[in-house]
């Protein structure tokens, strides 16, 4: 197994790392065993704490309270132990949670089925597929001129329509969707804000991630030239059952293809996330951020 190394850590501002010379080899031998580009650098290390180290603060205070006859031996009624919080990893999404469940719910609702091109978040994978087709697929536009391409949003229905208006009527009449159901997600233009936010994150993994059959790359290339479109997704947190298009979902974020206008919709997002424009989950991506799939060449 890997040879040990001996480190010493002095007071917080003053880190002194030494190899222990006569007893064991330095860490360089470890590194040579490991492949290039491997970012994992953990190795067990001994930690020496100077008497003024901050880790010792509470114990020192306790000692001095005892010396000054102020120490309470009986257990204090206030619990002082705290539990770690969870936080969403997506850069720019600063939401914090106190339970795992909240984290899961947040992530699954807001970051899972996200459109690579316009960063909109869809409640399910199927709706994401439909969205990408209808919004970002030029082939779709061409075919739609001649065929019924707009699928019914209700899973299992299977019907297709010539225009999104026809589909909407179908959904209202046949599937009893409410009249004011938000079919048409209006694009708003929030370029400025998005631009600034993106500068903060320095994403390095672009090359690794976007391994595709060429289509997605084009998309990515296109994207980086274009100004930001669309907007942060507005997913209102509804109580559960986001599987499929249940009526409690207010906003499927499907927009009629071709609609561009300023927003008359004053929806305030409760959560927003930002992903830099030059990041796309291409074919190599497994979940979450879907771009064009390889099948569409």
Size of the site for another protein (CB under 8 A): 83
Query: Hey, which residues between 103 and 122 contact another protein (CB under 8 A)?
Result: 103, 107, 111-112
Q: Which stretch binds another protein (CB under 8 A): 134-142, 154-162, 239-247, 280-288?
A: 280-288
Q: Which two tokens stand for residue 24?
A: 């064991």
CB 149 within 8 A of CB 131: no
The pattern of x and - marking residues 187 through 216 that bind another protein according to CB under 8 A reads: -------------xxxxxx--xx-------
Q: Residue 32, interface with another protein (CB under 8 A)? A: no
Q: Which stretch binds another protein (CB under 8 A): 36-44, 142-150, 173-181, 215-223?
A: 36-44
Q: Which is nearer to another protein, 69 or 241 (CB)?
A: 69
CB 113 within 8 A of CB 290: yes
Q: Residue 285, interface with another protein (CB under 8 A)? A: yes
What's the CA dihedral at 100, 102, 105, 106 to 10 degrees?
Answer: -110
- Burial of 245 (C-beta count, 10 Å sphere; 0-12/13-18/19+): buried
Q: Residues 6 or more apart from 94 whose CB is under 8 A from it?
A: 87, 88
CB 219 within 8 A of CB 280: yes
Distances (CA, A) of 196 to 94, 226, 276, 280, 281: 16, 15, 10, 19, 22
Q: Out of 89, 176, 199, 297, which residue is the one contacting another protein (CB under 8 A)?
A: 89
Q: Which is nearer to another protein, 46 or 143 (CB)?
A: 46
Q: Residue 19, interface with another protein (CB under 8 A)? A: no
Query: Hey, which residues between 41 and 60 contact another protein (CB under 8 A)?
Result: 41-52, 55-60
Q: Residues 6 or more apart from 263 whose CB is under 8 A from it?
A: 186, 187, 188, 189, 231
Q: Out of 13, 32, 38, 180, which residue is the one contacting another protein (CB under 8 A)?
A: 38
Q: Which is nearer to another protein, 75 or 180 (CB)?
A: 75
């Amino acid at each position: 197994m890997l040879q040990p190394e001996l480190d010493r850590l002095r007071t917080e501002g003053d880190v002194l790392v030494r190899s222990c010379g006569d007893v064991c080899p330095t860490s360089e031998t470890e590194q040579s065993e490991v492949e290039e580009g491997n970012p994992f650098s953990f190795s067990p290390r001994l930690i020496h704490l100077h008497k003024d180290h901050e880790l010792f603060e509470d114990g020192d205070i306790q000692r001095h309270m005892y010396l000054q006859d102020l120490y309470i031996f009986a257990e204090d009624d206030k619990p002082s132990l705290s539990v770690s919080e969870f936080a969403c990893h997506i850069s720019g999404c600063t939401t914090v949670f106190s339970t795992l469940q909240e984290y899961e719910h947040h992530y699954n609702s807001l970051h899972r089925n996200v459109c690579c091109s316009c960063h909109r978040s869809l409640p399910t994978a199927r709706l994401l597929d439909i969205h990408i087709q209808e919004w970002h697929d030029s082939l779709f536009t061409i075919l739609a001129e001649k065929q019924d391409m707009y699928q019914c949003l209700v899973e299992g229905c299977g019907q297709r329509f010539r225009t999104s208006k026809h589909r909407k009527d179908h959904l209202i009449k046949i599937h009893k969707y409410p009249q004011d159901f938000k079919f048409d997600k209006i694009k708003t233009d929030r370029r400025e804000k998005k631009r600034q936010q993106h500068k903060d994150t320095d994403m390095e993994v672009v090359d690794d991630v976007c391994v595709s059959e060429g289509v997605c790359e084009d998309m990515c290339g296109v994207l980086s030239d274009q100004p930001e479109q669309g907007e942060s997704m507005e997913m209102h947190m509804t109580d559960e059952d986001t599987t499929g298009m249940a009526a409690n979902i207010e906003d499927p974020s499907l927009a009629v293809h071709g609609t561009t206008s300023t927003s008359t919709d004053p929806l305030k997002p409760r959560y927003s996330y930002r992903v830099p424009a030059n990041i796309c989950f291409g074919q190599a991506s497994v979940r979450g951020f879907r771009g064009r799939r390889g099948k569409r060449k």
